[in-house]
Amino acid sequence: MTLRPLATATALLALFVHLQAQAERVQLNTSLGAIELELDAEKAPATVANFIGYVKNGHYDGLIFHRVIPGFMIQGGGMDTEMAPRATAAPVRNESANGLSNLRGTIAMARTRDPDSATSQFFINTVDNQRLDGMPGRPGYTVFGKVAKGMEVVDRISQVATTSRPPFRDVPVTPVVIESATLLAAPAVAE
């Protein structure tokens, strides 16, 4: 009896598991540079599917980071340069009890007071914001990934001058545009 077929099958199974575990990656090309996001579909499957759906249909292209608060976060994904909202799909259920925390460089869903109201708007934490995490009896803001590359771009965005455009506050004076959002191909697996 030879072990070669068993070793080959084991190697193929390991490769399959590795490919399944690879994180989805999205690149946001902004007017201030590129931000590459690594999404965690294992811990936030509904939220990642929701976000990728918006990426695939071009929803984020041409929208802006419309809320920038230094020492807190940058928020985008909902408004165009005229502060007009873009139509969204149905809200996604809150997944804030997934064990991920609102730490510097993580991406989370923006929402209203209703925990299950998140649609397309997201924010990137520029500092640790654990107070946004869920607690027993109090849902938080769903973290669904992190910045893999381009945190210097996030920091640059977080320092732009802001103003009020009633009813909105903390709006960049010069719009920071998401020129495109692209789903990236999975990295090649070494043999």
Residues 156 and 52 sit within 8 Å (Cβ to Cβ): no
- Average pLDDT in the chain: 90
Q: What is the pLDDT of residues 60-83, one digit of tens each?
A: 999 999 999 999 999 999 999 999
- Tell me the per-residue pLDDT of 165-184, one tens digit each, with 9 for 90 and over: 999 999 999 999 999 999 99
The domains found in the chain, sorted by start residue, are 23-184 (2.40.100.10)
Q: Which of 39, 19, 16 is nearest to 182 (CA)?
A: 39
| Residue (of 138, 88, 92) closest to 117 by Cα position | 92
Report pTM: 0.87
pLDDT digits (tens, 9 = 90+) for 16-62: 444 444 679 999 999 999 999 999 999 999 999 999 999 999 999 99
